[in-house]
Amino acid sequence: MSNLILDAEALYTEMRVGVQALWRPDMALLGIWSGGAWLAERLAADMGTHPADLPGIGKPGVISSTLHRDDFSARGMHSGTDATKIPFAVDGAHILLIDDVLFTGRTIRAVLNELFDFGRPASVTLVVLVDRGGRELPIQPAFAAAKVTLPASQKLSLTRLDDGRFTFAVMGSN
């Protein structure tokens, strides 16, 4: 286990500030299954109660990377396979893509492939809660609430508690 301690709730607050800075009224919110979808759902709920904060925010979509992963044979199917639900037209949309942890960039690549199965967006802007480095593909977020360095053998996982609050767990060996 790692001694790294991340306050997921404080980082969520930072993420919300970052999203407010990037938000335009013609944007659509899309969360990557599962942690990114939890974040997008909460952002929409929190910011939807303050219309001046995010004018035009609607129901967020959810997108899964499962069917486009390059490690599909090793990972197999999981319950996120049918998770993609996009309640807005993708063609011409300006999409704010939300994820919990950015590592190699392979999930983002797979999600972009999935997204283009639904149409051609005008733009896609990536926002993440934590950027842990270790990129294998040229993918960068427009905003990251935190940047951390972990050994490749460790996994950073976002969890949503029953009351809706977020926590992090670090798993694996140092």
| pTM above threshold 0.75 | yes
- Number of structural domains found in the chain: 1
Q: Is residue 3 part of a domain?
A: no
Phi, psi at 168, each rounded to 5°? -115, 150
Q: Is residue 2 part of a domain?
A: no
Q: Is residue 63 part of a domain?
A: yes
Cβ-based neighbour number of residue 118 at 10 Å: 16
- Domain that residue 55 falls in: 8-172
Q: Is residue 67 part of a domain?
A: yes
Highest mean pLDDT among 52-61, 67-76, 144-153: 144-153
Read off the pLDDT of residues 112-157 as tens digits, 9 standing for 90 and up.
999 999 999 999 999 999 999 999 999 999 999 999 999 989 999 9
Q: What is the CATH number of the domain that holds 76?
A: 3.40.50.2020
Largest Cα–Cα distance of the chain, in whole Å?
46
Q: Is residue 1 part of a domain?
A: no
Q: Is residue 85 part of a domain?
A: yes
Q: Is residue 43 part of a domain?
A: yes
C-alpha distances in Å from residue 30, one per residue of 74, 96, 142, 148: 26, 6, 15, 24
